[in-house]
A and B are shown apart, each in its own frame.
Chain A
């Protein structure tokens, strides 16, 4: 019996050793449980020790290469970015700085390392209410990772960590930190993610002061893309704040820390999640369930903080915060920063609306507003003879912004800036004696104002323009003829509408109605659902051209509702809104929505 037992133990040892030889992962707990024999268990323990030693040697190789590379970067004058963990709520900018006084040729002494599961854990780089974040090395992946470890003894946290990892793993987006795995060892739950080498936005602003509106808008555009992807998968982040957004060396913006994320389809304990009060939407602070609109509110608060260094309501007293929220008493961005672009201010203020219904309907809408606030084209430093799309290819930053307008489908192009950006831009103008005054979301117009649209597209696209008033009546402004929308040429500035003979024209604002929303859709391919819907709507020139006397003789004017019978409040209103929302997410489709408020002339 003894010999058989020993033989079985040896077989087990041999099998495990073969797994190690093949660099396969071994489930040590299971092997030990199956060993039975004390000697076999001792042998397994030694094999486990050898495996850990091998991991440590590999970590050492990795460590020496990494440290030397950083030291070389210092020697050549570049600034080696300290690694800061994804998912930490505290930046640790100096945690991994190589020792300045290390003798030439000698390695700076690394921090003592220890094991957690298969990971070799190095220095702590962040802390938070959940526990700690470490820089660690994963020998399987052969790379440094950020390990977020819950505190020991936090039994309730085990399931939360797994939830957090599962939620995070559902989303893949260049502006969302990538999760690699999660596990429980030694009574501690941990998640390990991409190690972002950079700094949190909180650290950035606290050390170097508020950002310009352009920088903040660029960050907001990236975060809108991340939120759009999150919301598409029925997740809300729940804790958008400067400490949870990293700016990686190289400029990539990365949303981290999904510890407060909520699965809208399954979670029910939304109220119990730890969040940061100052960035929480009023309805959530009052006990409501977090929604996508709450994320948009928090993003508005983050952008406000980035350009001012404070929150719209800055108080340590939660009761005061709620009271002031209820009264709408918050600081005005326009007053705190008089130098920021009005379009940016409007976008932030709208995101911060107390009523969720008054905020942007989606992260994509907010992204469009922020893009418009940047006024990307024409590029100021481009020679007049340079086509505008060339300017985009010469400025990668602008390429990234331009491509961001296309949403998730264009994300890959951000990574391939050498390709012609799939960019399209639509801007609405009020014609003032031949000069265009750009209109932004929320601007006021009055009856008889003359409007036109400017389009700039990197490639030929089909374009549809709709007008919908506050009573749900909708018109097709373009194309003016029923049937499939023709392709409009790319790589040149286009103006809509065109006159009957192709000459310049305008749309004229009608007298009735309190508000108008101009919707623009551009797409590479025909959109059957849109065409079908529009076929039932009146078109502005269906009864001929309008010729308001106020318009110059050289221009032909079309009324937004000028020549057609005012339709009844349409059954199409909900359909159109839903259609546009769907189109916002479709690849190869661009949408813009500009809401205009009317006032009496």
Chain B
């Protein structure tokens, strides 16, 4: 008798608990009304592991916009394949504005230029707004006998095969900027040995240790070593000198204005993003650009803010993509 009672009571109780449970775990669906966007947590996909420059940028943007919109933006890291994994994840997500992408130059234009079989095209994601640029710095070993960029390039030109340079990855801004520079100096980039290292930090240490002769990396990666004189910066790729390292001439001042590639980060989303999403983010980013705290935070990580709206940005990127394609083929990188 007791057993039967148990059987009768239990299923009901069980279903009750289950229902309660489900309700607690469910997130209410978004209202879908444009004026009210965002009404729930937004996922900002960062296609790299935590701690890197794209990740930090994403976290800052997320923090400031969350405060402004009163809605959580949570950073989700989806690293892999040089950024491809994260981009693909974002592209495959619903285009309701609740999954956005913290894009970066390598995943945005450079990888598509190199990898013909990449699962996405450079213009597939919806481009919303650029958030910042990353100046690149050309540097050599701290106690090197080279005193400026011209001396380096002259030596290399005389005997290119004797020299090596390091890059932080196989096709990122470091590779392409060096290609720009060498070409401007009339040197065949394929003659100088390119050593592909894993990340900015090893590239810097390898130059500091003298294992490779020169490299071109993001500002944030080189500041402390330059200040400690373990490496010597000889040029920056931005049109003006960089605040944190005022002694380093611009590429134009150093005589090679063609060395001008800068990295960038920006917000993007899946294809066919609704207009109200684009507008909201565009406006939001423009607003935080005016927040001195945000500007300062970004400066600190070596990613000075540099807003550009969707249309202008797309045009710039198209240019960048074409130029990257050219170098990719010349360097024999394109597959």
Asked if chains A and B come from one complex, the reply is: no
